[in-house]
Amino acid sequence: MRRKMLLYAGGILTFCFALLHASFWKLGNWNAELLRISADNKGIVEMLNIASIYMLLFAVFVSFYLAKKTVFTFTEKALILFIAGYYLLRIAFGVPLFGVCGQEIVIWIACLAVASCYLFALRPE
């Protein structure tokens, strides 16, 4: 039951991160801001964000699907570790890419909470 709740919580929080990424165009004023960089870099930024949204939505599906299982295969465990790794990478690269500020610390805490949901879901019940 604990594993199921952790995976559902991780999935819901991951869906919230997908929504956050979908709002970057508006929140970051990308219509104006991305005009400051080359067309190629603009395309790379937007494509990577779209790929992140796609991966996050896939992670939601995986989370909800695996929440119904009682035993994980090696591949299912690897998927859970991949999802947790996504959030841990976001924390690790937070300082060099975005510096340290209140907003960034909130993101780190949220990412750590989501990664913890997935990592603790791997523990035997």
Q: Structure pTM?
A: 0.91
CA neighbor of 51 nearest in space, from 94, 86, 91: 86
Look at residue 85 in the predicted model and tell me its pLDDT. Answer: 97
Q: How far is CA 98 from CA 45, 93, 101, 107, in A?
A: 15, 8, 8, 11
Look at residue 97 in the predicted model and tell me its pLDDT. Answer: 94
**Can you tell me which residue has the tokens 């909800």?**
64
Q: Chain-centre distance of CA 56, in angstroms?
A: 6
Please report, for the chain, the start and end positions of each structural domain, with discontinuous segments joined by +.
2-121
HSE of 82, CA atoms in CB hemisphere, 13 A: 13
Look at residue 1 in the predicted model and tell me its pLDDT. Answer: 83
Look at residue 125 in the predicted model and tell me its pLDDT. Answer: 75
For the chain, 125 residues long, the average pLDDT of each consecutive 10-residue run is 94 97 96 94 97 98 95 95 97 94 95 97 87
Look at residue 124 in the predicted model and tell me its pLDDT. Answer: 83
Look at residue 94 in the predicted model and tell me its pLDDT. Answer: 93
